[in-house]
Amino acid sequence: MSGAGPVPHHGGVLHDGGGEESRGPRTTRQWVILAVAAVVLAALCLVAGRWQWNRAESRNAEIDLVNANWSAPVVPVDEILPGPGSVVPDDEVWQRVELTGEYATDATVLLRNRPVGGRGGYHVLVPFEARLADGQEVVIVVDRGFVPLGSDGSAPDTVPAPPSGEVTVVTSLRADEPPSDRGAPPGQVQAISTAQVLAAGPQGAAWAQGRTVGAYGALRAEDPAPATALAPLPKPDTDPGSHLSYAFQWGIFAIGAIGGYVLLWRRERGALRGETVSAGDLLLASGEAADGEGVRARKAPRDRRPTAEDEEDALIEAQLR
């Protein structure tokens, strides 16, 4: 009868006699496109997970270094920095060292944009002329501590001076930071780079030429003590962060991308065979395979409305009767 059977339509959509639409099975080309999309998505998730994993490994290495060196016995500075031009080894970062010499107070510089405990302010950087055991002299920038923002926010109200004369200081060694390309007001810097710190001082960097090292010190103690102490620098953060959990989450997303494609394929294949396939079937499949029974779709009576063909057959049978 005219209009009784399903009529093919563009895009794989079938129109039945009742005016309702149902999507036909996907073509091989569509399945290939979906498979490629699932693989690409899974690969991107794995790349993101690997990146987070590497960040977690790097962070754990930093924490191990802090824990090993922060409370290690104090050693003379020349055991790690034997002379001008020396660079602190990676495994000696945060090591406590003792220096004896004098502060170059006139060359004091402020480090901006480094809050401490959530408070805005400045770190006070003062070059220190340290005498080594063999008679050499090196200039090391010392981060003496923190001062809060001043009343107008452009500079601190006061900067307490360091002890004068010969001073013995204990610092935790840090590697020089890369120079910053951001501008700063006179007497201020954006990074603790020895060359930039010295250049920002009133006298420039010429006075220390040939005596600098590739490191700076975070102050731990001074003897004699200053008349006014600065806010001390906090212990380095040892929180591992969430990198590891993020790595596992990205791995789960990758599995989900492939699993979603497989589930979609099994559902459509099952529908064509009159079977129903659920996400639970995929979870049970691995257990069935382990028992040697294979992966089987769970069959259930198909719950569907009568098609146009069913209605036509019923009418013919009624007329014959």
What's the pLDDT at 155? 82
CA–chain centroid gap for 223, Å, is: 40
Helix (H) or strand (E) holding 318: helix 308-320
The list of the chain residues with pLDDT below 70 reads 1-23, 274-321
- Say which amino acid occupies 67: N
What's the pLDDT at 305? 61
Q: Which of 170, 141, 144 is nearest to 73 (CA)?
A: 170
What's the pLDDT at 224? 96
Pairwise CA distance, residues 214 & 78, whole Å? 13
DSSP state letters, 26-88: PPHHHHHHHHHHHHHHHHHHHHHHHHHHHHHHHHHHHHHHHHHHTTSPPEEGGGT--STT-B-
Burial of residue 256 (number of CB atoms within 10 Å: 0-12, 13-18, 19+): middle
Pairwise CA distance, residues 154 & 164, whole Å? 27
- Say which amino acid occupies 272: L
Strand 13-15 vs strand 21-23: parallel, antiparallel, or unpaired?
Answer: antiparallel
Question: What is the signed CA dihedral for 115, 186, 128, 206, rounded to 10 degrees?
Answer: 150
Pairwise CA distance, residues 174 & 87, whole Å? 10
CA–chain centroid gap for 308, Å, is: 59
pTM for the whole structure = 0.70
Do the Cβ atoms of 278 and 301 come closer than 8 Å? no
Model pLDDT for residues 34-82, shown as the tens digit of each residue: 999 999 999 999 999 999 999 999 999 999 999 999 999 999 999 999 9
- Say which amino acid occupies 198: L
Quick one: tokens of 244? 């590891």
What's the pLDDT at 152? 79
